[in-house]
């Protein structure tokens, strides 16, 4: 027994003596970069949301004692007083900040032209940084039919059908309801009863026609977080392949603000010197009152 204890003690001392000394690693925070998100409200407004990235080393500093995001952190990442322009053809439109939704810039006069190329330029005076991005507006696509085929106390099953456009295409299907929260900007639906600041994204589904061999595409999906008495909003859009790949890589980000509370990683982008994605898709919007079904 004494010999066995001697062997065990020797092994422990051997392992401890082989343990390398701890290394001091000096990890410097990354410089903040501009993050771009954009949205077209059909026949009305082009909107761009501007935020700044932050280092993962700061993640312990932006939550206050109650577990909520601190106002100081919001002020740090929201971009105000920026110069934002969108050019297309021979036209240059200046976007103006929305007083009630800091970080959001809009233009009510930017024409929505299918197949037109749009170029975004942003200058942030606080960072003294500029970014640019370019995208093309694709032809709009309509949902032929959409209706609920089943409801529970917390879910709804939807069936929708649309006519696939010629060639290879990528589509985005979103479902919203009026949010119980307030003060969060979510511009994807702007139709009664989904006023700006009152939308909650329930589901976002990416669709490619590469897996279908017919022009009429029919899909059934189950949406969580819905009660039988809710009214839901649906958007459906024809998006670029680049935007499809961006959204695929960015899965799990939640609503429009939620995606910016993550350290930027290797996600596809069309923003030069920044992050995010500049898109100009024209969504089809439907509103369904589940009480009627």
Domains of the chain: 143-241+283-292 (2.60.40)
pLDDT tens digits, residue range 152-208? 999 999 999 999 999 999 999 999 887 655 433 343 444 433 444 567 788 899 999
Tell me the pLDDT tens digit for each residue of 204-214: 999 999 989 88
Query: Tokens in use for 25?
Result: 């690693």
d(CA 200, CA 212): 30
Torsion of CA 172, 177, 180, 183, to 10 degrees: 50
Query: Concatenated DSSP letters for 244-288?
Result: HHHHHHTTT--STTGGGSS---S----EETSEE-------EEEEE
* Distance separating alpha carbons of residues 287 and 264, to the nearest angstrom: 33
The reported pLDDT for the residue numbered 154 is: 92
Helix (H) or strand (E) holding 36: strand 34-41
Omega prior to 193 cis, within 30 of 0? yes
- According to the model, what pLDDT value does residue 163 have? 97
Q: Are 95 and 86 in contact (CB under 8 A)?
A: yes
Residues of the chain whose pLDDT is less than 50?
1-2, 4-19, 182-196, 253-264
Record the pTM: 0.77
């Amino acid at each position: 027994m004494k010999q066995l204890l001697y062997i065990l003690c020797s092994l422990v001392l051997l392992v401890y003596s082989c343990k390398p000394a701890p290394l001091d690693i000096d990890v410097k925070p990354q410089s903040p970069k501009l993050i771009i998100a954009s949205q077209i409200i059909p026949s009305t407004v082009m909107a761009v949301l501007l935020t700044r990235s932050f280092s993962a080393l700061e993640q312990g500093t932006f939550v206050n004692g109650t577990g909520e995001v601190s106002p100081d952190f919001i002020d740090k990442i929201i971009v105000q007083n920026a110069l934002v322009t969108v050019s297309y053809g021979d036209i240059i439109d200046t976007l103006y900040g929305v007083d009630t939704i800091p970080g959001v810039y809009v233009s009510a006069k930017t024409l929505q032209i299918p197949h037109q190329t749009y170029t975004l330029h942003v200058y942030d005076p606080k960072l003294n940084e500029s970014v640019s991005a370019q995208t093309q507006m694709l032809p709009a696509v309509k949902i032929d039919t959409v209706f609920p085929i089943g409801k529970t106390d917390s879910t709804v099953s939807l069936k929708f059908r649309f006519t696939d456009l010629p060639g290879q295409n990528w589509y985005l299907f979103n479902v919203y309801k009026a949010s119980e929260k307030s003060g969060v900007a979510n511009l994807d639906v702007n139709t009664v009863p989904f006023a700006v600041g009152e939308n909650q994204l329930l589901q976002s589904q990416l669709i490619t026609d590469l897996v279908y061999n017919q022009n009429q595409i029919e899909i059934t999906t189950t949406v969580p977080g819905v009660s039988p008495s809710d009214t839901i909003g649906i958007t459906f859009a024809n998006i670029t392949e680049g935007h499809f790949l961006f959204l695929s890589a960015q899965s799990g980000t939640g609503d429009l603000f939620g995606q910016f509370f993550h350290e930027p990683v290797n996600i596809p982008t069309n923003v030069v010197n920044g992050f995010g994605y500049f898109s100009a898709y024209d969504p089809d919007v439907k509103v369904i009152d589940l009480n009627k079904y």
